[in-house]
Every structure is written in C-alpha cells, then in structure tokens.
Amino acid sequence: VDQQHIRNFSIIAHIDHGKTTLSDRLLEMTGTISERERREQLLDAMDLERERGITIKSKAVRMHYTARDGQTYQFNLIDTPGHVDFGFEVGRALAAGEGAILVVDASQGIEAQTLANVYLALENDLTIIPVLNKIDLPGADPDHVAMEIEQVLGLPAEDVLRVSAKQGVGIDALLEAIVERIPPPHGQHDRPLRALIFDSHYDPYKGVIAYVRIVDGALPVGARLRMLGTGAEADALEVGAFRPQMTPLDLLDTGEVGYVATGLKQIGECQVGDTITLASMPAEIALPGYRPAKPMVFAGLYPVDTNAYTDLRDALEKLKLNDAALSFVPEKSAALGFGFRCGFLGLLHMEIVRERLEREYGLDLLITAPSVEYQVLLSNGDVITVDNPADMPDAGRIESIEEPIMLITIITPTRYIGSIMELVTGKRGVFESMEHLDPQRVALKYKIPLSEIVVDFYDQLKSRTQGYASLDYTLAGYQPADLVKLDILVNGQPVDALSLIVHRDFAYAQGRALVERLRKLIPRQMFEVPIQAAIGSKVIARETIRAMRKDVLAKCYGGDVTRKRKLLEKQKEGKKRMKMVGSVEIPQEAFMAVLSLN
C-alpha cells in the first residue's frame, strides 16, 4: 500500500465511555467482522477481561476502508488498555499511531482518565478526533459536553463528532474524519528498519509475538532481527497483520502495523517500548520510549498447601511469559513458610494475577497485605530498598526512610470537594491545585504517598462521591517520611507476614484498629490468644480472643450422620484459607485485615 493511504490510530476513553463498542462498530462498518462476530465482543478476548469489562492487552486490527474520494485506505486500529495501572502500555500503543479518537460519554462528560489520555496523546503529537458517544441516551447533553471539551481540552466544539456506537449512528462521518484529519505515517522507506514494539504476547508454538509499528524501513519474513534495548536476536518466523485473526504476509512495510513471531521464549527479551532492527543492517538510534516495566506494589504469595510451592513457581513462570510487568522472587516467612514476593503495576494488576493463579492453575493462595517500595538510608551510609515490611531493619540502624509519592488528579462535582479534602488529608495528601472544568466540576490535584492509596483509596473515593469522582495517578518521586514498623504478635509470637510500615502519627490508631479487627477475624482456639501491636519492643495495643467453649460437633444430636458430615465439610471449607502460625490458625482475611481498616 502507498504510505499516503495508511491511517494508524487508537481510541482513547475513560472506562465505560464506549471504546470497545465503538471499535467493534468500526470493524463491522469496514466489513472486517460480521455483525454476529461484533456481538461476541472481539477485542476483549480474555474471559477475565470480559468479566471485569476492562481491556488489559492492546491489540491492533487492520481494516480496509473505501472513502468518499474513491480511494481505499488501510486503517490500523491500535487498542489501548483502559486502566491507570497500565498507563505505560497506553503510552506505547499511542506512540504507534498518528491519531487518536477521543471518546467522551455525552451523558458523563470529561473524566480523570479522559484528561490523562489526552495528555498522553498530546505528548505523542497525535491528531485528536473528539467524539461524543451515547448521544442516544436520554441523559445525554452533547452541546454542553462539546463546550466542556473546547474549554478544558482546547479542541473546537464544532470539530466534535456525535455518535451512538451502540446504535451505529454517526459512524460514517467518523470514518471520513479518520481519512481527512489523521495524517499518514511519515517514516523513511530506504532507512534501516526501526519497528516500535507496542505490545507482545507469548505463544507456545511461535514464541513471543511482538506487535509492531514499522517506523522506518521494512520487516520481511525470515529476517534476522535484533532488539536495540535488550540486545536479544531472533528470526522473524512469521510476519502479518490482525484481520482480526493473525494473517501472514511477506513483509511489513514503512508505516504499517502488524505482528512478528520471534520464537523467543521470554517476553522480557522483547519488551514493550523496545525497537526492532535488522541484524544485517542495524539502525543506530533506538526509538524513544524503552523503559522496563516497573512494579509499584508488592505482596507475598504463599500456597495454602505447602506442597504446592513448586506448582506456584511453575504457574508464576508461565504467567511471566505473557506479563513483563510481573516480578517475583522466592521469599521465606517465619509464619507462612516458603512463597514468593511478587511485584505488580498496581492493585488491579495484583488482583488479576491472583485470580489467574487460582482459576487457571487451581492454586489456593494466601496473599499478604500489599506494600510499596521504600528507600532506606542506613546509619552506615548504605541505601537499601525494602518492599517487604518484615525486612525493614531495626529502627536503631536507620537514618531515614523515603517513600514513593504520587501526583493524583481527581475530577469531581464541586459538591464533594469537602468530603474529598477530608479523605485525602486523612491519608497524608497535600493539596496542589484546583481547576474548574465548568461551574459544577473541578479537577483537584494532590501529592499523596502511594502506600496510602494502594489500600482502599479508590473505593472510598467512589463511595464518598456516589461514584461521581474519577481518579488518575502518576509517580512524582520519593520523599522522606517519619515511618515506623508496626509488628503484630499473635499468642506472644511476632507474625512477620502481618507487619506493616506506617506513619508514626497514625501508628497508635492503626495498631489499635488492626488488633481489634484481627480479634474478630481469627477464630477462637482451644485456649486464650492475645493479639498485640508493637513498635520495636513497645506494645501499643492489645486484644484477647477468648478460648472456645464447646466442640462444634457437640451441637449435633446423636446419630444424624448427614448433618454431622455437613458440619464437618463446612468446617473444612472454612479451613481452606487457614494457615497454622505456631499453634494458632490464621485465616486469609487476617492477612488482608489492613485493607478493611478505617
């Protein structure tokens, strides 16, 4: 295809504003898929994604569109992940195109991720086509939202298209706008190959499949390839495009988007953001953007059944093939035995990994409370990073501790400002700025420690604003803070997996709340069990679980076997997620107790 007839673009939107529905509509209107296939929601292939209604992995689909000018254009729609945890992947996917369709729900208006996505699009110099979706809804106010887009984003209101992705209204005009407004790719055909990897996945037969945008040169099948970032080399076993199934081609040419099968066994060798070139004629300068994925949230994963340790390791290794952001190292806990310290991009990422381990690999897991990564300056001048509270050195050896700080943006109706201020300041947030989007809505910016928002910040924000506020965050750096390690003792024994790093000012309140919570969560034993919170050797809170009075089975009247079996089974069920710590059984919920404080 003539480079002038290629259009590469993404669709960006706040969650639920209709990105998937609109993508499917475009595929259908260009004859790439049938109506029936559309209904099967093609772009969200993974079950988990469908259930959660979020797109985790970006994909690229090639369409052919014959425009009103009579010419046939090659459209490459590059799908972007929709959640803040995956911000880096969004940026890379956007960098693979020249344009972005900005979808805004006409009944909701601009949300936090709308803004975040627009900033990412502008950073990548993309042409933005603003689109109001869901104009069929009775609550839609397209004129108002178009004005909001003009005022807040500086995109002229008359350029805003109006569609209903669900009913297929306004899609023709959008297809024409893609041709007219988005520029063709401007790469150099006669330069050495430079292909941007904007996504990848592991295939058991073809190895790592990289999703690429050819910036300069061409990528023929059979070529020897080199990754400029990692130095890994591989053969292009297959190249092609998604139509939407993988369709092999002889080559990917300048400006095109498609895939290359590399035969590589590890996704880490072929990471998002890296540049592919030809080993025989390598490009010298990599494309901007290579950055190894950096985990932000850490937690211990332990098999409930100690014998399942190797199964857990094998499962993690398999998941890692497809998830460069997942990290894990073996860890030993005095309380829980052998497990892994895992690093995640965020809480959602953690949830997804945990669910996949349980569902796809049939593992029963205990997961400890999530922690962030601290930079600790020791008295001897050394700096260490600590991502497990149990590894925090004694206070006497520490000079200072720095913690990760996030810059958060909250968009909310003005009536909730007071309630949000209260929530944020209670979590050590510091006000940065407030900007009115319109008379009823503001964008609030704060700096806040990551440790304070990994826990239940998002849920609290949603419940305090009846779901109206939206949130986005980025790492703003590290800052020193007066932090202490809070230890929990069960039956006089410290349980390392329950340790927490907390701010000194909140240590007493949190210690008290935690032991109260644990008293309710840990079932009664045959003996009395004290639960204590301590900082160093100083106990700051204590509760007692009283001893069990009766055997459970005593409740069964004689001879009723079924009833007895049921009771025993129920007990077994309840035990599933229990771990013997010393002589006390501790349930999974206890390790996550910190999540339900406040």
Of 5, 50, 64, 166, which lies in the binding site for ligand GTP, with binding defined by CB under 6 A?
Answer: 166
Considering beta carbons, is residue 19 or 213 the nearer one to ligand GTP? 19
Instruction: Decide if residue 53 touches ligand GTP (CB under 6 A).
Output: yes
Binding-site residue numbers are 16-21, 133-136
CB of 172 to ligand GTP, least distance (A): 15
Judge contact between 262 and 235, C-beta under 8 A: yes
Instruction: Decide if residue 137 touches ligand GTP (CB under 6 A).
Output: yes
Distance CA 335, CA 486 (A): 16
Considering beta carbons, is residue 22 or 297 the nearer one to ligand GTP? 22
Of 6, 12, 27, 54, which lies in the binding site for ligand GTP, with binding defined by CB under 6 A?
Answer: 54
Of 6, 12, 13, 316, which lies in the binding site for ligand GTP, with binding defined by CB under 6 A?
Answer: 13
CB of 113 to ligand GTP, least distance (A): 9
Which residues neighbour 87 within 8 Å (Cβ) at sequence distance 6 or greater? 116, 120, 474
Of 38, 57, 62, 134, which lies in the binding site for ligand GTP, with binding defined by CB under 6 A?
Answer: 134
CB of 164 to ligand GTP, least distance (A): 4
Instruction: Decide if residue 7 touches ligand GTP (CB under 6 A).
Output: no
Instruction: Decide if residue 21 touches ligand GTP (CB under 6 A).
Output: yes
DSSP helix/strand/coil, 392: coil
Residue 57's identity, in one-letter code, is: K
Instruction: Decide if residue 141 touches ligand GTP (CB under 6 A).
Output: no
DSSP helix/strand/coil, 338: strand
Per-residue mark of binding to ligand GTP, 66-105 (x: CB under 6 A): ----------------x-----------------------
Considering beta carbons, is residue 117 or 491 the nearer one to ligand GTP? 117
| 286-291 LR contacts (CB < 8 Å, sep 24+) | 286/194, 286/228, 286/229, 287/95, 287/194, 287/196, 287/215, 288/95, 289/91, 289/92, 289/95, 289/196, 290/228, 290/229, 291/88
CB of 254 to ligand GTP, least distance (A): 31
Considering beta carbons, is residue 137 or 155 the nearer one to ligand GTP? 137
Q: Is 221 exposed, middle or buried (0-12, 13-18, 19+ CB in 10 A)?
A: middle
Distance CA 205, CA 237 (A): 11
Instruction: Decide if residue 45 touches ligand GTP (CB under 6 A).
Output: no
Distance CA 264, CA 274 (A): 14
Instruction: Decide if residue 133 touches ligand GTP (CB under 6 A).
Output: yes
Residue carrying structure tokens 């008290």: 512
Instruction: Decide if residue 10 touches ligand GTP (CB under 6 A).
Output: no
Q: Which segment (15-23, 280-288, 356-364, 448-456) binds ligand GTP by CB under 6 A?
A: 15-23
Binding-site residue numbers for GTP are 16-21, 133-136
SS (H, E, C) 14-35: CCCCCHHHHHHHHHHHCCCCCH
Closest by CA position to 211, among listed 427, 23, 5, 62: 62
Per-residue mark of binding to ligand GTP, 376-415 (x: CB under 6 A): ----------------------------------------
Of 6, 10, 12, 18, which lies in the binding site for ligand GTP, with binding defined by CB under 6 A?
Answer: 18
Of 15, 29, 509, 535, which lies in the binding site for ligand GTP, with binding defined by CB under 6 A?
Answer: 15
Question: For 415-553, where are the alpha helices, taking DSSP H only?
Answer: 417-426, 450-454, 457-464, 504-521
Instruction: Decide if residue 164 touches ligand GTP (CB under 6 A).
Output: yes
Judge contact between 507 and 486, C-beta under 8 A: yes
Q: Which segment (63-71, 89-97, 160-168, 278-286) binds ligand GTP by CB under 6 A?
A: 160-168
Judge contact between 582 and 490, C-beta under 8 A: yes
596 C-beta neighbours (distance < 10 Å), count: 12
Instruction: Decide if residue 181 touches ligand GTP (CB under 6 A).
Output: no
Considering beta carbons, is residue 136 or 516 the nearer one to ligand GTP? 136
Considering beta carbons, is residue 174 or 405 the nearer one to ligand GTP? 174
Q: How far is CA 174 from the centre of its chain?
A: 30
505 C-beta neighbours (distance < 10 Å), count: 12
Residue 444's identity, in one-letter code, is: L
Q: Which residues bind ligand GTP (CB under 6 A)?
A: 13, 15-21, 53-55, 82, 133-134, 136-137, 164-166
